[in-house]
Amino acid sequence: MKANHVLPPEEAALSFAALGSEQRLSVLRTLVRAGPEGLSIGDLGARCGITGSTLTFHVKTLAQAGLVTQQRQGRQIICAAAHAGIRRLSDFLLSECCADSPTPHEDHIHG
C-alpha cells in the first residue's frame, strides 16, 4: 500500500538536493537558530562566512526548495527559515517510520 505523503516525493527530492551543500546546510541551520525574525543578508553572511553572490545563490536555492523565505524590509532583505517547509520535509521522512517493523520503535512519531 502506497503512503499518502503531504509532501510529494519529487518535492522532497528537490528539498534534499538543496541541502546537498555544506554551505546551504550552514545557511539553513543559522536561520533556524535565528528564530522567526530571521536575519538580514549581511548578518547571515557574517555568521556563515559566506558573502556576495555565493550567499545570494545559496539563499535562492533554499527558497526555491521551500526551506527559506526572503522578505524586503526597507533597504534590507530579511531571510528566515521556512519552518512549515522544514516540517513537511521532516514529516515526509517520518511518515512511514517503523511501518514494516513488527515492533515499532519507542520513539516512533505518529503523523
In this prediction, residue 3 has a pLDDT band, given cuts at 50, 70 and 90, of very low
pTM for this structure?
0.83
Whether 7 has a pLDDT exceeding 60, the answer reads yes
Contact criterion met (CB below 8 Å) for 55 and 44: yes
- The Cα–Cα gap between 14 and 35 comes to 24
Domain made up of 9-93: CATH architecture: Orthogonal Bundle (1.10)
Whether 27 has a pLDDT exceeding 80, the answer reads yes
User: Residue 107 has what pLDDT?
Assistant: 59
- The grid cell for 54 is 555565493
DSSP code of 110?
Answer: P
Element of type H or E holding 79: strand 76-81
Sheet containing strand 76-81, edge to edge, reads 39-40, 76-81, 68-73
Dump pLDDT digits (tens) for 37-85: 999 999 999 999 998 999 999 999 999 999 999 999 999 999 999 999 9
Beta bridge partners of 73: 76
How much is the mean pLDDT over the chain?
89
